[in-house]
Amino acid sequence: MSVQLLTYVLVGITFALYIGIAIWSRAGSTKDFYVAGGGVSPLANGMATAADWMSAASFISMAGIISFSGYDGSVFLMGWTGGYVLLALLLAPYLRKFGKFTVPDFIGDRYYSKTARLVAVICALFVSFTYIAGQMRGVGVVFSRFLEVEVNTGVYVGMGIVLFYAVLGGMKGITYTQVAQYCVMIFAFMVPAIFISIQMTGNPVPQFGFGDRAHDGVYLLDKLDGLQQELGFHEYTSGSKSTLDVFLITAALMMGTAGLPHVIVRFFTVPKVKDARKSALYALIFIAILYTTAPAIAVFARTNLIETVSGKSYSDMPEWFTKWEKTGLLSFEDKNNDGNIQYLADASKNELTIDRDIMVLANPEIARLPNWVVALVAAGGMAAALSTAAGLLLVISSSISHDLLKKMVMPQITEKQELWAARASSFMAVCVAGYFGIHPPGFVASVVALAFGLAAASFFPAIVLGIFSKRINKEGAISGMIIGLGITLYYIARFKLNWIGSVATSGKENWWFGISPEGFGTVGMFMNFIVAIVVSKFTKQPPQEIVDIVENVRIPKGAGQAQTH
């Protein structure tokens, strides 16, 4: 059976499963829609959280970045993994006890201000839309190759699928759909990794295989270093980024993780604070399986790619090469007209252009694995992109319908009307997300890294100070969020999107202190902290009831129910 037919079958089966679960678990109330009724088991919530967390950036793009960047790509591993630990230990249990199920809800009540709630809603929308652009891009990449349609068409199909089960089932539907998606995703990620590890080193454990000897007796990483240097690339196991930028990117990813609204809301779907801690532990175990395998896949894919294409005749390229060429994500230009592919670091001589986002998806084909494995990876990539996109859509819809409409504009709205408003805002959100998926500002993990920077610069200080400081007041929190978000948005708009200033002044050489846009969220975060603390010091203290709430939240026992009204 052909790869395309197998892909249609496997993707069709998984889509039918997701839609069936959405119909079975459709939301009948706002509590079902926002927090799945608050009755999800810790194990199921751990799997759903892992699926929510391991987006297209983790499944499709992270190994691709590491594959091309080598050591420099490790910032994504350190930042995203460390950030989840930070979230699980430092914030999730306290937010769960507070009893509010959205970040704007927490900020609005903790800082006793509608203005603070509005600023938090704006921050949530910026973070979520930036993040979801990467997911929709991932959907398009998967569809474009395996269903042999244009990238834009793939985005449209993905929009329709996500919209169906997110709008119908809300958090309840999304939770149980994500449990299924995690199973599909991790199976699809591990099977080819195990196959290729055995194929290249004889070791069936990918985490150990990429550090083992290849069949020619040379350590695989040493072999890859040699191949890289022959082509003019820097050593795979050495970095080219400055220490400062590595630190700032890692910190932005870590702190941004702890401020991601679509991950935080998952801890309100369990009955008790103790269950939130349990589900965090389960999620960390499930996440670690993929994150410890990604560097191995990166090494396998990079080595196989170089050995397959470098210096070889274009006419001898296998079928997967021409299939990816049709998508526009891989291209060959014969600059010297010799019919051979020159894959070199020197841009003036290089004849091969490869989109980083294709590496995980093309990996089984490059390694000549069976067609069913290739199709399985396609289904896994779809599961990764759709699971996170659904969670982000819920954050956007709840920010608009609950935090903005119910809490500020129309407080007398009925529960039924609020539920319809949530579904309508989901529809509008998926349309905007689709636009950004068609016109993304970069490859998947890069776009997602920007979302983490925005979350770090806006939400993280407000949440941490809101839990651990009784002195921070509404003036400080509002000022901090505005400054942190504003300066980070400016930096991204100028140096990543080239929306501000000329192209000549937006280049890498003009970065402030050599800080990349992906790492600038850390600077925005520090500015947020400083402004919030200084402004609070010179303005009125919070009311006594707020001080009492902060003290109560930090007591480990007891848990309030997530409140919808």
Given phi > 0 = left and psi -120 to 50 = alpha, else beta, which region is 113? Answer: beta
Percent of the chain with pLDDT over 90: 21
Beta carbons of 279 and 265 less than 8 angstroms apart: no
Asked if the structure places residue 331 within a domain, the reply is yes
Angle at the Cα of 299 from the Cα atoms of 204 and 303, rounded to 5 degrees:
105
pLDDT higher at 343 or 408: 343
Q: How far apart are CA 231 and CA 305, in angstroms?
A: 13
Asked if the structure places residue 486 within a domain, the reply is no
Mean pLDDT of 511-539: 93
Question: Exposed/middle/buried for 1, CB within 10 Å: 0-12, 13-18, 19+?
Answer: exposed
Q: What is the pLDDT of residues 408-451, one digit of tens each?
A: 888 888 877 877 887 788 788 788 878 877 776 655 666 777 88
pLDDT higher at 429 or 487: 487
In 304-392, the DSSP E strands lie at 330-332, 352-354
Mean pLDDT of 401-413: 80
Say what the pLDDT of residue 26 is. 62
Where residue 560 falls among pLDDT bands split at 50, 70, 90? very low
| Distance spanning both ends of the chain, measured CA to CA | 54
Q: Domain residues for 383?
A: 3-31+41-100+113-404+416-447
Q: In the numeric block, which tokens belong to residue 559?
A: 């848990």
Asked if the structure places residue 228 within a domain, the reply is yes
Say what the pLDDT of residue 561 is. 47
pLDDT, averaged across the chain: 82
C-alpha dist (Å) from residue 32 to 36, 37, 170 = 4, 4, 7
Question: Exposed/middle/buried for 333, CB within 10 Å: 0-12, 13-18, 19+?
Answer: exposed
- Say if residue 484's pLDDT is above 50: yes
- Say if residue 114's pLDDT is above 60: yes
Q: Which of 76-80, 154-158, 289-293, 355-359 has the lowest mean pLDDT?
A: 154-158
Say what the pLDDT of residue 60 is. 80
- Say if residue 168's pLDDT is above 70: no
| Helical ranges in 439-541 per DSSP H | 444-468, 474-495, 520-537
Say what the pLDDT of residue 530 is. 97
Q: Which of 174-183, 311-320, 365-374, 481-490 has the lowest mean pLDDT?
A: 174-183
Q: Which residues contact 227 (CB under 8 A, 6 or more apart)?
A: 303, 306, 307, 310
Say what the pLDDT of residue 169 is. 54
Domain count, the chain: 1
Say what the pLDDT of residue 36 is. 52
Task: Using DSSP, state whether 41 is helix, strand or coil.
Answer: coil
Q: In the numeric block, which tokens belong to residue 207?
A: 């985490």
Task: Name the phi and psi angles at 161, rounded to 5.
Answer: -65, -50
Say what the pLDDT of residue 482 is. 96
| Helical ranges in 25-88 per DSSP H | 30-35, 42-53, 56, 63-69, 74-86
Q: Which long-range contacts (CB under 8 A, 24 or more apart) does 325-331 make?
A: 326/148, 327/141, 327/144, 327/145, 327/151, 327/358, 328/144, 328/151, 329/141, 329/144, 329/145, 329/151, 329/354, 329/355, 329/357, 329/358, 330/354, 330/355, 330/358, 330/362
Asked if the structure places residue 482 within a domain, the reply is no
Q: Which of 266-270, 281-285, 349-353, 445-449 has the lowest mean pLDDT?
A: 445-449
Mean pLDDT of 485-513: 80
Q: How far apart are CA 399 and CA 101, in angstroms?
A: 11
Q: What count of residues does the chain have?
A: 565
Q: Which residues contact 496 (CB under 8 A, 6 or more apart)?
A: 441, 442, 450, 517
Asked if the structure places residue 186 within a domain, the reply is yes
Q: In terms of pTM, does the model score above 0.85?
A: no
Say what the pLDDT of residue 56 is. 72
Asked if the structure places residue 294 within a domain, the reply is yes
Asked if the structure places residue 547 within a domain, the reply is no
C-alpha dist (Å) from residue 383 to 104, 187, 333, 425 = 28, 11, 34, 23
Q: What is the pLDDT of residues 7-59, one digit of tens each?
A: 888 878 887 887 787 677 665 555 555 555 556 788 888 888 888 777 777 88
- Annotate 244-262 with DSSP letters as a single string: HHHHHHHHHHHHHHHT-HH
Q: What is the pLDDT of residues 71-104, one digit of tens each?
A: 888 888 888 888 888 887 778 778 777 776 678 8
Q: What is the pLDDT of residues 204-247, one digit of tens each?
A: 999 999 889 888 888 999 999 998 888 888 888 887 788 888 89
Mean pLDDT of 254-280: 78
- Say if residue 389's pLDDT is above 70: yes
At which residue do the structure tokens 């890289």 appear?
228
State the CB neighbour count (10 A cutoff) for residue 36. Answer: 29
Beta carbons of 345 and 307 less than 8 angstroms apart: no
Say what the pLDDT of residue 562 is. 46
Asked if the structure places residue 173 within a domain, the reply is yes
pLDDT higher at 441 or 314: 314
Q: How far apart are CA 11 and CA 508, in angstroms?
A: 40
Where residue 402 falls among pLDDT bands split at 50, 70, 90? confident
Query: Which CATH number belongs to the domain containing residue 10 in this structure?
Result: 1.20.1730.10
Beta carbons of 140 and 132 less than 8 angstroms apart: no
